[in-house]
Amino acid sequence: MATVGSYLERARILPNPSSSDRDPQGNPYKTNRGLARAWRALLHSYSGIRYAILEESAFRQELTLAAILIPVAAVIPVSAVERLLLIGSVLLVLIVELLNSSVEAAIDRISLEKHELSKRAKDFGSAAVLMALCLCGLTWLLLVGPLLLARFG
């Protein structure tokens, strides 16, 4: 039978993962710990969303769609799981669009000249957004479509 002491013994065998072990060069951008790190992460997240709203027209369009669909999902008569699927599919579109925008920004940072690999990376991101939009549309069609047919059909 294992005791607390035996767990501690085994833990001492493993190396202590100090910050110097993880990053021997030292990353000057990773200086915050604890709540300070969480606060900085929150500020970076806010900055990213703000930038996406100001600079990315596709994100603004999808955000407008989310501003319409999420309140609709909150009031239509569906189960909690179905409501979660409806809202989650809309949020997934926004998440994938943010990731796509980050890929595009990184590619543009590397070089603005046309290159097949840059095109491929951007096309992959665009395809991911398309798949998220299709999933969202299909989710809404399957869950809300029958309600609309029963009401208006």
For residue 16, name the pLDDT band (cuts at 50, 70, 90): low
Q: Which of 9, 55, 82, 97 is catalytic?
A: 97
Using CA atoms, how far apart are residues 90 and 136, in angstroms rounded to an integer?
Answer: 6
- 97 is a catalytic site residue: yes
CATH code for residues 57-153 = 1.10.287.3610
For residue 137, name the pLDDT band (cuts at 50, 70, 90): very high
The per-residue pLDDT for 34 is 87
The per-residue pLDDT for 12 is 56
Convert the pLDDT of each residue in 48-69 to its tens digit. 999 999 999 999 999 999 999 9
Using CA atoms, how far apart are residues 82 and 85, in angstroms rounded to an integer?
Answer: 5
